[in-house]
Amino acid sequence: MAMLRALAQGETDAARMADMAKKQLRKKIPQLQLALEGCLLPHHRWLLSEMIEDLDHVGAKISRIEETIEQQMRPFQNAVDRWLTVPGVKHRLAWTLVAEVGPTVEAFPSAADLVSWAGVCPGNNQTAGKRKSGTTRAGNPFLRRALCEAAWAASKKKGTYLQAQFRRLAALRGPKRALVAVASSILTAGYYILQRATTYQELGPDYFDKRNTVRATHRLVKRLEALGHRVILEPHFSNNPIQASSS
C-alpha cells in the first residue's frame, strides 16, 4: 500500500518505492524494482488515487463495524475466549460462532445434533446395506461458512491434530471432504469446550499413529517396500516396541 500511495502521489524512483517493502516482501526488492519501472500518465495516477480513497473508506467502515460488534459481544466474552483456543479460529470467526451457536450449547442435546444442524456431517445415503457417498445437508449457511474458513486455517497450522486430520483425509477422499471433516471436528470440540467450560486440548499431530501403532507400522512398511526396500521388523526392548531395518 505504501508503494501504491507513492505511485499515486507522483513518485517515479523505482528503487525508493521498492525499499518501502516490509517483512517477507523485502526478499523480492530486485523484482519489485522491475515491476515498479514504467510510465504512469496523470490520469492513471488519478484513477489509482480514487481507488485508494475508496479502499480507505471501506477499511474505516469495517473498523467501525468491528468496534460495534466487539462492544456487543462483551457480555459473551467468556465464550469468545474459549473459541479462540481452537486452532484456526480468530476473533471474527469466534464472533460468528458465538452469534450462530450461542454462548452455551444447552439448545443441543449432543455434539452430533449441533454438527447436523450446522450441515457439516456427511449425508446418510444407504441402500441394501451398502453405504454410498452422501452429500452434506444445507444446514446453517453462516455457521458452515465460518467453520470451513476455520478448518482451512487450521489445516495450515503446523504441529496440530487438525492439520494431521486434514492431510490424512485429503489423501484418501480429497481436500473438499477433508475440509468438511475438519470443520466437523472443530464444531465438535467447540461443543464440549462450551459444555464443560474448558479450553481446547491439543491431541498432537501424531495422534493417529499412536492410536493404532500396528496399522501405522504396516502403512510405513508398505511405503518403504514400494520404494524398493526390503524391510525386516525386529522386537525392540526399549520404550519403542518395534524396530525396523531396511535394505
> Any idea which residue has 504512469 for its cell?
40
Q: Distance (Å, rounded) from C-alpha 182 to C-alpha 161?
A: 10
> Any idea which residue has 468496534 for its cell?
67
For residue 239, the model assigns a pLDDT of: 53
Dihedral pair phi/psi, residue 151, rounded to 5°? -65, -40
In the chain, the percentage of residues whose pLDDT exceeds 70 is: 89
Tell me which of 163 and 237 has the higher pLDDT.
Answer: 163
Helix (H, G, I), strand (E, B) or coil at 245: strand
Q: Please state the rounded mean pLDDT for residues 14-20.
A: 92
What lies within 8 Å, CB to CB, of 73 at 6+ separation is: 80, 95, 98
Task: Report the candidate in 217, 206, 212, 223 with the shortest Cα–Cα distance to residue 244.
Answer: 217
pLDDT digits (tens, 9 = 90+) for 142-170: 999 999 999 999 999 999 999 999 998 99
pLDDT band for position 231 (cuts 50, 70, 90):
confident
DSSP state at residue 236 = -
